Structure 1
Amino acid sequence: MAEIDRCPVLLLTPSGRDFVVAQALLQTARIDAESCKDVPQLGTKLSDDVCCVIVADEALNGTDLAALAGWVSSQPPWSDLPFVVLTRRSGPDRRLMAERLTRTLGNVTFIERPFHPTTFVSVVETAVRGRNRQFEARARMRELHEGEAHLRIALTAGQLGSWSLDLATHALTASATYKAIFGRRESDSFTYEELLASAHREDRGRVQAAVALSAETGCDYAIEYRNVWQDGTEHWVDVRARVVRDDQVARLVGVCSDVTLRKTSEDQLRRVNESLEVKVLERTAQLEDAHRTVLEEIRQREHTENLLRQVQKLEMIGQLTGGIAHDFNNLLMAIMANLELVRKEVRPDERAGRLVDGALRGAQRGAALTQRLLAFARQQVLKVEPVHMPALVHGMADLLERSIDATIELSIDTPDQVPFTRVDTNQVELAILNLVVNARDAMPEGGTIQISVDTARSAGDSDLSAGEYVRVTVRDTGTGMDAATLAKATEPFFTTKEVGKGTGLGLSMIHGLARQLQGALRLDSTFGKGTCASLWLPVTSRPAVEKRIVDEPNDDGSADARQLRATILVVDDDPLILSSTSYLLQDLGQDVIEVASGEAALEILRTGQKIDVLLTDFSMPKMTGVELATAARTLRPLLPVILATGYAELPDGAGVDLPRLRKPYQQSRLLHEIRNAVEHPVSRQSEGQ
């Protein structure tokens, strides 16, 4: 990072005083600067390692900028070199000059002379920070490419074939090595039906049963069986996979290897061993036992090392995602917005159109990757709504009954007088089911599981704020836990279950869910006497309301844009996001007023100027978006406010009464939120309160 932070800033100012002043300010800010005497020399010094270019407009006036434009257009996907232009022009000339430089240089920020030193340093530091984030993105892209290359090398070195199977449609995707293991050429089609047909008739049932078991329970798929090639020869394969769920689609993803030689060797060795004398067999058995013991010890050590690596990865991701989510989403916002506008300027069947579509899809995949990282770090966005917990538990009764053994008695006590609580219904149902399954596993000989719902009051402590809570309690008469086990129960990957029967993430994820809902998970257990797990959820005075159907945004917002004409006040301290959002709205025919701070927005509101919607970023210096919304509603109580944020979740009590537009957003979603705010100002405001 130290080398990145010290990357040079190129400076082109023909006026001697401008150069001296700018260089002095940059030295004060500890920013390295290299001077250029003219535009051709500037063009020769441009490189991917330059942080920023500061140039006076008179140096560009009347100069051929083709070389600069060519370099800018040939930047790699991660790069968007910022240009800071010092200008004295005003009126139509300035506008024409600004349009020309923006088209030519792309990422341009203008500073009007004479400028304040603080303004100059702030703009340059912002450009340098943005460039450093681009360098970080470059490093991450290189790491991903290296990881993919290593994976390909590992599969080739291990002679492993990769494959995936859609459990709903049974669509099979197989690599060339996988097809070769089953006696097929790379060009041959290979369907799941052909795969089953190639299995030995005595093993075919086991294959189908193993696939069905993994599809039903989500357990790992691991099997060795014989397959018959088209030439009639028999071969053994070892197939392993895991169930991966993505967007409600379940797939088996794994690898396959040819173990014919091993199985043949094992068969030959078995026949030889059967012919040996009893003493030789006994000695061989002893050696095999010792060998298995060593292998088990090695496997246990490898398993422990894998768990340690997983814990380290989880800790690293948990630290990184919360800190980089906002900046990464802002970066994707600027990329996606500009690409979406550029896409409208080129024909989709042209090469430029295809390139823009590819870049936009890549940015969208980056946004999806951010959300998956947030979900893994237990910072997922929850869909909370008022829920009557007794009704929720009773609705799960049939599912819970099917999840336990006949030797276990299930008792549910849920009085109707329990108040509402604001939760994510699906996540809480999964948490209760997880607690019941844990209780079931703790009673192999049978017992009783009691589920109760009541209210409790917390006096306030480090884990739970003072107040009223709805408490869901799952109590069992199982084996219980000692003090040492209880202290580690909610740690990631800690489990008391047998190897392969538990991930150790259940109680950890329930604990994280409770914390996100401003509640807590409390465990009380005595070894030999059972366990009591209590899920505390805060009480809400809001009853369940009938959901109002709101039109979803379509892919093309042009029709909605023609029906809507509004004046939107856009507030964002990031120039890239501010300009990108404004361009998106202007492209839809809306009137836009741009400001870079909350105070500037309030000044406009105080003038009485017509404003239909206030669209503000959440994270801004001096005044956050929530603070701005509060002040704006003091001036204009009925003004619709939309809060744009790149965070997965906001701090406690921040912005819960505001419609949220999560970055990065597309033009159709932006128009959808603006239209709802304009057409339903009262209802939209009341829904969040």
Structure 2
Amino acid sequence: MWSEAGIGGLACREVDDLCRALATGAGFALVSDEARRTSDLAPLAQWVRDQPPWSDFPFIPLTERGGMERNPAASRMVAALGNVVFLERPFHPTSLVSVARTALRARQRQYDARQLIEEIREAEALLERRVRERRDLLQSTMGGVASIETVLQPDLWPATIDPTQIELVILNLAINGRDAMEGGGSPVVKTANTLLGAPQYPEEPPAGDYVMVSVTDSGTGMTPEVRAKAFEPFFTTKPVGRGSGLGLSQVYGLAKQSGGGVRIITGPGKGTSVQVFLPRAARACPWCSSPATPTPKAWSAPIPTRSCASRSTRASFPLSSAAP
């Protein structure tokens, strides 16, 4: 029956064997009344409690006395194992296959959630890691004239931008900051989680949650006239041969391409802070701590096709699990 349904199974003689098999990955476990009555389920209940946040492993107990409404033992099993769907004997084989496939689909969604969580965590660490890793590169690019200071937000939100692009943004801004500080100084690279209100200038993004990456210098600053032209291609106040005028326009283009924007805080003799706002990458799984709703990339994490079954000394009904 299982082979015809395309579901594999592995026989586990003891509960400890089942726990070891489940630890390698499984789709569901089929539990008989006989095995439940003759086995100590405490190790299995402990395995359930030790599951990671993304996992809610499905169990299908086969019972002769129905579910919780007619079977007091069923309540104890639900309390011990959590995600339980009872199947009462006698049943048609197609009913068992249908319940098993439903459990497998639910387990597949849990594996998808696990990979999504991993992807989100990688994205959260990426921006901060990029800034830290590229500090030496920035320092060498500055030619030793100025040191780079960093102020990095702990628990930085994930941001929507290509890693290579954020490196280019920081590099362009750091070079601009160096050139503006003719008397020397230290550009400050900063990251922060930011909630923006309505934009005040066309280059700023709409209201919402953003990851901010800024570079601040203590240089000459900009007049209102210069600031108004700062994002125009080929506009520069640098001497001939020292700048192409593409730095800020390129930064602005990359920010807009990512769905964000740019803000300049400056004034003559007050230095300049260029703040780049990148949209916060949303989260889409109930196991994540943030309530935001993400739009993940399409990908698949197949459940293994191995399976397991457990036999007590008095019965040989399988506790089967389609392994991932």
State the TM-score, normalizing by the size of structure 1.
0.26
Structure 1 pair 219–119 and aligned structure 2 pair: CA distance change class (3 A):
farther
Aligned residue number for residue 241 of structure 2: 287
The answer to which structure, 1 or 2, has the higher relative contact order (CA under 8 A, 6+ apart) is 2
- In structure 2, what residue type is equivalent to 1:254? M
Aligned residue number for residue 125 of structure 2: 149
Aligned residue number for residue 115 of structure 1: 91
SS at match of 2:23: coil
Aligned residue number for residue 151 of structure 2: 161
Cα deviation, 1:456-475, whole Å, max 9, x if unaligned, reads xxxxxxxxxxxxxxxxxxxx
Q: CA RMSD in A?
A: 4.0
Cα deviation, 1:411-446, whole Å, max 9, x if unaligned, reads xxxxxxxxxxxxxxxxxxxxxxxxxxxxxxxxxxxx
Larger radius of gyration: 1
Q: Is the 8 A contact 1:53 1:82 kept in 2?
A: yes
Aligned residue number for residue 208 of structure 2: 245
Please give the alpha-carbon distance, in whole angstroms, between the structure 1 residues aligned to 2:125 and 2:84: 37
Please give the alpha-carbon distance, in whole angstroms, between the structure 1 residues aligned to 2:252 and 2:25: 42
1:28 aligns with 2:10: no
Structure 1 pair 217–285 and aligned structure 2 pair: CA distance change class (3 A):
closer
- The one of 7, 13, 25 aligned to 1:49: 25
Aligned residue number for residue 104 of structure 1: 80
- The one of 198, 201, 226 aligned to 1:219: 201
SS at match of 1:54: strand
- In structure 2, what residue type is equivalent to 1:84? I
Q: Is the 8 A contact 2:67 2:74 kept in 1?
A: no
Cα deviation, 1:551-595, whole Å, max 9, x if unaligned, reads xxxxxxxxxxxxxxxxxxxxxxxxxxxxxxxxxxxxxxxxxxxxx
Structure 1, unmatched stretches of 5+, are 1-24, 164-213, 222-240, 247-251, 265-283, 311-320, 333-358, 375-689
Shift of 1:134: 0.3
Q: How does 1:48-197 map to 2 (within 5 A)?
A: 49-89=25-65, 95-156=71-132, 157-158=134-135, 159-161=149-151
Structure 1 pair 40–94 and aligned structure 2 pair: CA distance change class (3 A):
farther
Q: Is the 8 A contact 2:60 2:87 kept in 1?
A: yes
Q: Is the 8 A contact 2:27 2:107 kept in 1?
A: yes
Shift of 1:77: 0.6
1:254 aligns with 2:212: yes
Shift of 1:32: 1.8
Please give the alpha-carbon distance, in whole angstroms, between the structure 2 residues aligned to 1:91 and 1:130: 20
Structure 1 pair 110–41 and aligned structure 2 pair: CA distance change class (3 A):
same
Shift of 1:33: 1.3
Shift of 1:302: 8.7
Structure 1 pair 216–150 and aligned structure 2 pair: CA distance change class (3 A):
closer
Shift of 1:92: 8.9
Shift of 1:98: 0.7
Shift of 1:37: 1.9
Please give the alpha-carbon distance, in whole angstroms, between the structure 1 residues aligned to 2:27 and 2:62: 17
Cα deviation, 1:143-178, whole Å, max 9, x if unaligned, reads 111111112213434544357xxxxxxxxxxxxxxx
Structure 1 pair 215–244 and aligned structure 2 pair: CA distance change class (3 A):
closer
Shift of 1:220: 7.4
| Structure 1 residue runs of 4 or more that deviate by more than 6 Å after TM superposition | none
Aligned residue number for residue 369 of structure 1: 293
Please give the alpha-carbon distance, in whole angstroms, between the structure 2 residues aligned to 1:33 and 1:151: 43
Q: Is the 8 A contact 1:56 1:85 kept in 2?
A: yes
- In structure 2, what residue type is equivalent to 1:292? S
Structure 1 pair 304–114 and aligned structure 2 pair: CA distance change class (3 A):
same
- In structure 2, what residue type is equivalent to 1:147? A
- In structure 1, what residue type is equivalent to 2:77? L
Please give the alpha-carbon distance, in whole angstroms, between the structure 1 residues aligned to 2:254 and 2:152: 26
Please give the alpha-carbon distance, in whole angstroms, between the structure 2 residues aligned to 1:83 and 1:65: 13
Q: How does 1:227-376 map to 2 (within 5 A)?
A: 244-245=207-208, 254-260=212-218, 263=219, 285-288=239-242, 291-292=243-244, 295=246, 300=250, 303=253, 307=257, 332=286, 362=289, 365-366=290-291, 368-369=292-293
- In structure 1, what residue type is equivalent to 2:201? C
- In structure 1, what residue type is equivalent to 2:35? A
Q: How does 1:450-489 map to 2 (within 5 A)?
A: none
Aligned residue number for residue 40 of structure 1: 16
Please give the alpha-carbon distance, in whole angstroms, between the structure 1 residues aligned to 2:117 and 2:206: 27
Shift of 1:44: 2.4
Structure 1 or 2: larger helix share?
1
Please give the alpha-carbon distance, in whole angstroms, between the structure 2 residues aligned to 1:245 and 1:64: 53
Q: Is the 8 A contact 2:44 2:81 kept in 1?
A: yes
Please give the alpha-carbon distance, in whole angstroms, between the structure 2 residues aligned to 1:132 and 1:215: 40
Please give the alpha-carbon distance, in whole angstroms, between the structure 2 residues aligned to 1:30 and 1:85: 20
SS at match of 2:244: helix
Structure 1 pair 285–258 and aligned structure 2 pair: CA distance change class (3 A):
closer
SS at match of 2:6: coil
Structure 1 pair 125–106 and aligned structure 2 pair: CA distance change class (3 A):
same
Shift of 1:136: 0.5
Structure 1 pair 292–59 and aligned structure 2 pair: CA distance change class (3 A):
same
Please give the alpha-carbon distance, in whole angstroms, between the structure 1 residues aligned to 2:9 and 2:22: 13
Please give the alpha-carbon distance, in whole angstroms, between the structure 2 residues aligned to 1:73 and 1:35: 23
Shift of 1:72: 0.4
SS at match of 1:85: strand
Shift of 1:36: 1.4
Structure 1 pair 216–144 and aligned structure 2 pair: CA distance change class (3 A):
closer
Structure 1 pair 160–58 and aligned structure 2 pair: CA distance change class (3 A):
same
- Counting matched residue pairs gives 201
Please give the alpha-carbon distance, in whole angstroms, between the structure 2 residues aligned to 1:91 and 1:136: 30
Structure 1 pair 102–217 and aligned structure 2 pair: CA distance change class (3 A):
closer
Structure 1 pair 80–30 and aligned structure 2 pair: CA distance change class (3 A):
same
Cα deviation, 1:357-399, whole Å, max 9, x if unaligned, reads xx7x93xx44x425xx69xxxxxxxxxxxxxxxxxxxxxxxxx
- In structure 2, what residue type is equivalent to 1:369? T
Please give the alpha-carbon distance, in whole angstroms, between the structure 1 residues aligned to 2:212 and 2:24: 39
- In structure 1, what residue type is equivalent to 2:208? R
Shift of 1:88: 1.8
Cα deviation, 1:643-681, whole Å, max 9, x if unaligned, reads xxxxxxxxxxxxxxxxxxxxxxxxxxxxxxxxxxxxxxx
SS at match of 1:34: coil
- In structure 2, what residue type is equivalent to 1:49? G
Shift of 1:45: 1.6
Shift of 1:95: 1.2
SS at match of 2:101: helix
- In structure 2, what residue type is equivalent to 1:56? S
Structure 1 pair 92–109 and aligned structure 2 pair: CA distance change class (3 A):
closer
